[in-house]
Structure 1
Amino acid sequence: MKIAILFPGYGSQFVGMGKELYDEYRIVQEYFEEASNCLNSNFVKLCFASSDIELGKMSNAYPALFLVTSAIYALLRQEGIKPAVVAGYNNGEYAALFAGGCFSFPDGLYLLSKYTMFFQEALEHMDVEVIRVRGVSTEKLAAICLKASAYNGKVFIAIYNGATDHVVAGDTQGVEQVRKLVGGLEDVSIDQLGIEVGLHSALMDSVVEQFKIYLEKVDFKDLVIPMINSLDGELISQREEVKRRLLRHINSPLVFTRVIDVLADYDLIVEVGPGTRLSTMVKKKYPEKRTIAIQTSADVEQLKKMALEP
């Protein structure tokens, strides 16, 4: 059976994520201890006893999600689950790369701490917004963004979630213009998102320039489990290619629809960590495909049974 494991990104975090598995499995506790030592932060308190606002801060959510999803993945490997491929949504790609054997757990935390620091510094000099637009086709929304950019401020499609589901990011004036142009269309919904989702456009060029210096300080290895890259859906495993794409991941749009397309070739899709958004996206496109989200010990046991099925 070909198993694909997916790692969620920012927005899936919630206070209490991973708590049941932390209480039951020593390996999960060990990851929490290592993360706390690496970043000098109390992740038990942050993940289990803080607030949605505190956990939602970029500097907290990114490493916390990486920690929880990486710990659950380590548990699954301990329980005998062996994926054929991995993929991550947005910053979930860092956990996917760790799972694939690209870099160590401490190095993943190190990279995310640097990225969030540079991103936050860049935001001090920006006036930007991020929204989710549903109900508009990719072609039509791209034309709207181009038209809006002709006024004041650049605006881009940052993440492609589906044929009519996109994340739009850009200068506040440009995003407001998109709101006006989209607002007159029927059956369209617009939701405000946190900047923490990322801008994934040329607005992030300065972050790339800073981040690439620290990328060289990390020991990247060829992946032992290939990753479906969210830039274009390509399977990647070579370390130099990973490094190039990790930089492009910051200032280029993410096309998660292509990741979903590639999953057609896999039998069992496993979402590791908080939430069920990714497994729901897969189920929507492939109703017949077996999917499961892992958040509790019962989920782990169910997955072990599913993995043995023909």
Structure 2
Amino acid sequence: MSVLVFPGQGSQFQGMGRRLFDEVTPFLENEQEVDRLLGYSVRQLCLADNDERLRQTRYTQPALYIVNALHYFQATAAGEHPAYLAGHSLGEYTALMAAGAFGLLDGLRLVKMRGELMAEATGGGMAAVLGLSAESVAHVLDEPALAAIDAANFNSPLQTVISGPADKIEQAEAHFLAAGAKRYARLPVSGAFHSRYMIRAADRFSDYLKGFSFRPLRLPVVSNVTGRPYPAGDPDKVIRAFLTAQITRPVLWQESIAWLRQAGERRFSEAGPGQVLSRLIADIEEALTAPSALTS
């Protein structure tokens, strides 16, 4: 058994899914409807991207959702039978689709709206802080000058992403480098995702979610919001609440992987373009199995 993990925004690249578009039957059966729903060819976007739209949130999110799904369908056709599913931010939608919460097309409708709403939240920025623990990052963010910034992604023991107004993200660089960060990398986004600044988008998305019904999960999906599997209960209420909260809450990726390891899982397979999550998981596992972690 294994854990299938699905990457989120930042993993996209021109050419992603190239060898899968013509091989994955569930996509081929729905390609015309996918393109009609989006208003453009997702295949053409991923393979050519002549206008560099893959850098834009409203296009990135649907494209990644579809390519993640291609990888999922390929993996299951090859005999993969995961025990758990997890996705990073946008990737959680593919995990929920794979668990049976909704079909491929309803999931696409959700991420299309999510991407459009998040793209409207301009004036923000994000940055990855590398080489500092989450505790050290929190200590720096306690400085009065950085009160407008939130922690957005807890990706690994020494990688935390922060989110806030673009000018504050720019100013924060000097503070983190002074605190010992090895690198401060501003991300190519125009919104302060997974932060207090996404509340309006979350409220509008919550209203949109009311038009969907969700099915019980066939497999456990580990939530970004809690770092634990989605709880039992009415799937309409639970999934709507968690997907709404995910827009403003930080991604607890490190905690999610730690929980899965505590549950006995050791084999993680990345179903999507690139190896971003695989590298993060390797860093998390290295920290969890280090002598200091084993004796603490």
Q: TM-score, normalised by structure 2?
A: 0.88
Of the structure 1 ranges 60-69 and 234-243, higher mean CA displacement relative to structure 2 is found in: 234-243
Please state how far the C-alpha of 1:158 moved relative to its aligned partner.
0.5
Q: How do 1:76-155 residues align onto structure 2 when only pairs under 5 Å count?
A: 76-123=75-122, 127-147=123-143, 150-151=144-145, 154-155=148-149
Contact 1:31 1:67 in 2 (8 A): no
Go from structure 1 to structure 2 and tell me whether the alpha carbon gap of 1:17 and 1:141 turns closer, same or farther (over 3 Å shift): same
Shift of 1:173: 3.3
**Identity in percent:** 28
Separation (CA, whole Å) in 2 of partners of 1:197 and 1:178? 16
2:163 alignment counterpart:
169
Q: Which residue of 2 aligns with 1:242?
A: 239
Q: Which moved more, 1:169-178 or 1:110-119?
A: 169-178
Question: Is 2:71 the partner of 1:68?
Answer: no
Q: Please, which of 191, 209, 213 is the counterpart of residue 185 of structure 2?
A: 191
Q: 215-224 or 108-117: which moved more?
A: 108-117
Equivalent in the alignment of 1:290: none
Which consecutive unaligned segments of at least 5 residues does structure 2 have?
Answer: 287-296
- Is 2:51 the partner of 1:57? no
2:28 maps to which residue?
Answer: 29
Aligned 8 A contact 1:146 1:155 in 2: no
Query: Which string of whole-angstrom CA distances, capped at 9 and with x for unpartnered residues, describes residues 184-227 of structure 1?
Result: 24452011102268521111111111111110111111111110
Q: Distance in 2 between matches of 1:275 and 1:197?
A: 23
Q: Which amino acid aligns with 1:233?
A: G
**Alpha-carbon distance in structure 2 between the residues aligned to 1:31 and 1:77:** 18
Q: Give the CA deviation at 1:84.
A: 1.1
CA 1:161 to 1:67, structure 2 compared with 1: closer, same or farther past 3 Å? same
Q: Is the 8 A contact 1:31 1:71 kept in 2?
A: no
- Indicate yes or no: 2:220 matched with 1:221: no
Q: Report the counterpart of residue 230 of structure 1 in structure 2.
A: 224
Q: Helix, strand or coil for the counterpart of 1:61?
A: helix
Match of 1:19, SS?
coil
Deviation at 1:69, TM superposition (A): 0.9
Q: CA–CA distance in 1 between the matches of 2:104 and 2:25?
A: 17
Q: Within 2, Cα distance between the matches of 1:205 and 1:53?
A: 28
Q: Is the 8 A contact 1:101 1:221 kept in 2?
A: yes
Q: Please give the TM-score of this superposition, normalised by the length of structure 1.
A: 0.84
**What's the secondary structure of 2:161's corresponding residue?**
strand
Across the aligned residues of Structure 1 and Structure 2, the Cα RMSD in angstroms comes to: 2.0
Structure 2 counterpart SS, 1:69: helix
Q: In the TM superposition, what is the alpha-carbon distance from 1:103 to its structure 2 partner? A: 1.1
Q: Deviation of residue 246 (structure 1)? A: 0.9
Name the CA distance, whole Å, in 2 between partners of 1:203 and 1:276.
29
**Do the aligned partners of residues 230 and 201 (structure 1) sit closer, same or farther apart at CA in structure 2, a change above 3 Å counting?**
same
Residues 1:182 and 1:284: Cα distance change in structure 2 (over 3 Å): closer
Task: Report the counterpart of residue 281 of structure 2 in structure 1.
Answer: 282
Asked if 2 retains the 8 angstrom alpha-carbon contact of 1:10 and 1:197, the reply is no
Find the aligned partners of 1:52 and 1:191 in 2 and give their Cα distance: 25
Unaligned runs of 5+ in 1: 288-310
Inter-CA distance 108–216: structure 2 relative to 1 (3 Å threshold) = same
